Amino acid sequence: MLEVRNLMVFFENALAINDLSLEVEAGEFVGVIGSNSAGKTTLMNSLSGLIIDMRIKEKRRGGERITIYGNIYYQGDDITETKPSDRVKKGIVLSRERHPVFPESSVLENLKIAGYLKKRSEVLETIEYVFELFPALKNLRSRKAGFLSGGEQQMLAIGMALVVRPQLLLLDEPLLGLSPMMQQAVLEAIVRLRASSGITVLLSEQFARPVLPLIDRGYVVENGMLAMYGTGQELMDNPEIKSAYFGIY
């Protein structure tokens, strides 16, 4: 479904993604594991196309040069230079790191805003589905999003991505800043989401421990480079992963 081939992303002269290749098959749950500044967000922005917008903006304001090499294929098409809105139309939807929601709007309004390009009946149907997935959100439907806890906002952010009806859902660090209990709640919802909808999920995370048991396959990224890959089980059994991600934390 998705194939990244020899991707390189430079910010000026700094290499954020270094010759990275990966694949995601339809229906898979794939993890990208990496510590701070490994390149997770840059990868997600490259997949969603946000990097294309960033490159245009930086060029306009005479800022740093963003250079992209390599190719990204989605369902057989080369989308490396496809703009983000067209990628959304193809079904690639990113839920960004640190969950930007509209703080002055209610939970329900946020979900409706996210679906502004979709048919109203479709949106209302998906919102019901989101509430089934995250029952906590249903009870908070009238609350201003700015008053939600971090975990609740994260659920809302994922819900907003779902309203767009993704085929490939990209989640950039959905567990960031959440308590272990909230992390479990978000992960369980992702597992339920896959079971009930068959959506393909690519999730980036620095916390390997809760993620590895759930993913089909994972890629470990260090300094923008692929350090290791394998099934969730293989990665869990890997001694290097054990010491790097399961040791002290």
Ligand X SMILES: Nc1ncnc2c1ncn2[C@@H]1O[C@H](COP(=O)(O)OP(=O)(O)OP(=O)(O)O)[C@@H](O)[C@H]1O
Q: Would you tell me which residues interact with ligand X (CB under 6 A)?
A: 11, 14, 16, 34, 36-42, 64, 97, 206
**Minimum CB distance to ligand X smaller for 39 or for 159:** 39
Q: How far is the CB of 41 from Mg ion (least distance, A)?
A: 3
**Minimum CB distance to ligand X smaller for 151 or for 224:** 224
**C-beta of residue 34 within 8 angstroms of C-beta of residue 222:** yes
Cα gap 183→64, rounded to integer Å: 35
**Minimum CB distance to Mg ion smaller for 44 or for 215:** 44
Decide which of ligand X, Mg ion, none touches 36; Cβ closer than 5 to 8 Å per partner kind: ligand X
3-state secondary structure 117-185: CCCHHHHHHHHHHHHHHCHHHHHCCCCEHHHCCHHHHHHHHHHHHHHCCCCEEEEECCCCCCCHHHHHH
Q: How many CA atoms lie within 13 A of 22 on its CB side?
A: 29
Choose which of 11, 30, 41, 134 interacts with Mg ion (CB under 5 A).
41
* Residue 48 binds Mg ion (CB under 5 A): no
Per DSSP bridges, beta strands 168-172 and 77-78 are: unpaired
Q: How far is the CB of 114 from ligand X (least distance, A)?
A: 23
Six token digits for residue 32: 């990208």
Decide which of ligand X, Mg ion, none touches 38; Cβ closer than 5 to 8 Å per partner kind: ligand X
**Minimum CB distance to ligand X smaller for 3 or for 53:** 53
**Minimum CB distance to Mg ion smaller for 13 or for 36:** 36
Number of residues that this document lists for the chain: 249
Decide which of ligand X, Mg ion, none touches 42; Cβ closer than 5 to 8 Å per partner kind: ligand X
Six token digits for residue 94: 């990113």
